[in-house]
Amino acid sequence: MTLRDHAGVALAGVVAGLAGGLFGVGGGIVLVPVLTGVYGLTQHQAHGTSLAAIGATALASLVVYALHGNVAWVTAALVGVTSMMAARYGARWAARVSRRGLARAFALLLVAVAVRLLWRTPAGPGAPLAHGWQGAAFDLALGVGVGLLAGFMGVGGGAIAVPAFTLLLGMTQQAAQGTSLAVILVTAPFGAREHWRHGNLVARLVPGLAFGAMLGGPLSSWVAQDLPQLLLTRAFAVFLLLNAARTWYGASRKG
């Protein structure tokens, strides 16, 4: 790879880090379309490579959220335990799905995340769905869904975790995003390892992506703590919808 290539990879990591830190989703929803569209990776390779890189986003961004007290560590630990185990099965599932099916599934994920971002929840914490052992059981069950999504889609699982934390557990948006990043920090490496075992990880791109992500993640995380996010959220949702359309169209053409 040339110096220009390395700079381009790092820039992709910065963009993914900015999105991941701002929305608590790891950055895979940005990175996967870039890896397939710009670098020509297959859908399977993009998912595995994304998972290997977004752990850096989670780590760098999590520090900022933690310093502001916006991480529910107990919930993160419970969700992380089961998501860690489920991520490998999501990756195995992805390896058995056709390229068209995987691309279209990812496009639908982008649409679902965009709808969630456009349909904002009321500001401020709400009433938690469950307490005590029921709450712990819910966290463990949620971890299974997050892990399967992370392994299958090549994203950190924040697309499920963040809205679940806000809508069902009554967290503020910042706390939900910080807790999601804590879960991603555990989930992503296990999903990436399973993709690597199936030959779906392009290792030469990971250092540059991770370096860029560690630059972009903290910057947007600091912004997320205090500034209103409504305009940025809606703009990002439109970006996701455009990427979903491109991914679906590309899958239809390739067959």
Q: Output the pLDDT for position 61.
A: 93
Residue 159 pLDDT = 72
pLDDT at position 162: 80
DSSP string for 7-26: HHHHHHHHHHHHHHHHHTST
Diameter of the chain by CA atoms?
A: 55
> What are phi and psi for residue 105, nearest 5 degrees?
-65, -40
**What is residue 77's predicted lDDT score, i.e. its pLDDT?**
92
Cβ neighbours around 74 below 10 Å, total: 12
Stated pTM of the model? 0.79
Give the residue from 138, 148, 183, 245 showing the smallest Cα distance to 20. 183
Residues in the chain predicted with pLDDT less than 70, given as ranges, are 99, 120-131, 154-156, 228-229, 231-233, 253-255
For residue 106, give its domain range.
3-254
Check residue 44 and give its pLDDT: 82
Instruction: Count structural domains, the chain.
Output: 1
163-188 per-position pLDDT tens digit: 778 777 878 878 888 999 998 888 88
pLDDT digits (tens, 9 = 90+) for 227-253: 765 765 677 778 778 878 877 877 776
Close Cβ partners of 163 (under 8 Å, ≥ 6 residues apart): 116, 121, 176
Residue type (1 letter), 15:
V
